[in-house]
């Protein structure tokens, strides 16, 4: 009887312990990250169970004394919006060590790509943008803002 109780208690302990660990891992990307060139910081947040990110710092936030605008956007109606504060990561969900099903917008070329994010280590994210299948794309590394 004691043995059966010990086994059930241990199983419950393992379940509760691992479910907490998964929740912590899912939020591991929350925070501020430098892009590859270190000329922008993106703050990743959790909103309604999904992860998104917006630009919160630019090395050069102005152009000709005015805020930099989204001038390369393929949607002409969005070309007057400022890059600072722009949401460029949208709709990511966590699944088994990967944040997936999201999109990334590149203000340098005005295009939106499907995207997956993986955590390389505590200070580095691997951000992969792609069109169609993830094998055809580009991976860049973002570093944690200290």
67 has pLDDT over 80: yes
Which tokens hold the place of 98?
Answer: 């990967």
Complete domains list, the chain, with CATH = 29-144 (2.40.128.520)
Amino acid 19: pLDDT: 39
Q: Among residues 116, 123, 109, 121, which one has the least CA distance to residue 139?
A: 116
Amino acid 134: pLDDT: 84
Beta strand segments in the chain, E: 31-34, 40-47, 50-58, 62-63, 66-67, 87-95, 98-106, 111-121, 124-130, 137-144
| Mean pLDDT of all residues in 46-60 | 98
Amino acid 63: pLDDT: 95
Residue 133: which pLDDT band, with cuts at 50, 70 and 90?
confident
Amino acid 3: pLDDT: 55
Residue 18: which pLDDT band, with cuts at 50, 70 and 90?
very low
Task: Kindly report, residue by residue over 76-89, the tens digit of the pLDDT.
Answer: 999 999 999 999 99
């Amino acid at each position: 009887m004691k043995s059966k109780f010990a086994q059930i208690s241990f199983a419950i302990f393992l379940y509760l312990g691992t479910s907490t660990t998964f929740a912590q891992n899912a939020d591991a990307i929350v925070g501020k990250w430098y892009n590859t060139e270190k000329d922008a910081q993106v703050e990743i947040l959790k909103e309604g169970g999904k992860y998104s990110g917006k630009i919160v710092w630019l090395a050069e936030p102005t152009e000709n004394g005015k805020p930099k605008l989204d001038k390369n956007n393929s949607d002409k109606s969005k070309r007057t919006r400022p890059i600072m504060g722009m949401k460029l990561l949208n709709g990511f969900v966590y699944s088994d060590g990967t944040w997936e099903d999201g999109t990334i917008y590149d203000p340098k070329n005005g295009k939106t790509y499907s995207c997956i994010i993986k955590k390389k280590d505590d200070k580095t994210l691997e951000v992969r943008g792609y069109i169609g299948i993830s094998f055809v794309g580009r991976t860049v590394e973002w570093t944690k803002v200290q």
